[in-house]
């Protein structure tokens, strides 16, 4: 009886870990999808790093933006703050926090669109 309870507990923990990694992947995808919306028009993006931010509920994406050929790439970053699950609650860049109205418009009219999925600079990578 003791062995089965231990095994059941282990299975439950593994299930929670799988859910957690799923949430982490969703958070990373959402934060990556923010990047093209913030980048200046007619620039190319190169994803440099996606990692946990300053807190557990934050994802930071470092990327490079380049314009014309021969122009030096500029490194930038975006930090996405999340609530429970993968709900985007805050956004900050090297220029400071993104205001509530801009965040609302980004969340409700861009992030869940096919255009955002197609523009994701990290789509297809793990």
- Looking only at the bridges linking them, the beta strands covering 88-93 and 96-97 are antiparallel
CATH architecture designation of domain 25-119: Roll (3.10)
The token pair at 24 is 């982490």
DSSP secondary structure of 55-106: STTEEEEEEEEE-STTPPPEEEEEEEEE-STT-EEEEEETTEEPPHHHHHHH
Rounded to 5 degrees, φ, ψ at 122 are -115, 10
**Mean predicted confidence (pLDDT) in 22-50:** 93
pTM for the whole thing?
0.79
Tens digit of pLDDT for each residue in 66-100? 987 777 889 999 999 999 889 999 999 999 999 99
Q: Where are the domains of the chain?
A: 25-119
């Amino acid at each position: 009886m003791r062995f089965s309870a231990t095994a059941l507990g282990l299975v439950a923990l593994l299930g929670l870990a799988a859910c957690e990694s799923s949430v982490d992947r969703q958070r990373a995808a959402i934060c990556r999808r923010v990047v093209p919306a913030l980048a200046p028009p007619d620039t190319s993006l190169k994803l440099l790093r996606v990692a946990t931010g300053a807190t557990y509920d934050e994802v930071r994406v470092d990327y490079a933006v380049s314009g014309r050929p021969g122009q030096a790439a500029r490194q930038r970053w975006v930090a996405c703050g999340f609530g429970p699950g993968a709900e985007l609650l805050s956004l900050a860049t090297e220029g400071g926090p993104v205001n509530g109205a801009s965040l609302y418009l980004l969340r409700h009219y861009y992030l869940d669109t096919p255009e955002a999925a197609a523009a994701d600079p990290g789509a297809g990578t793990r």
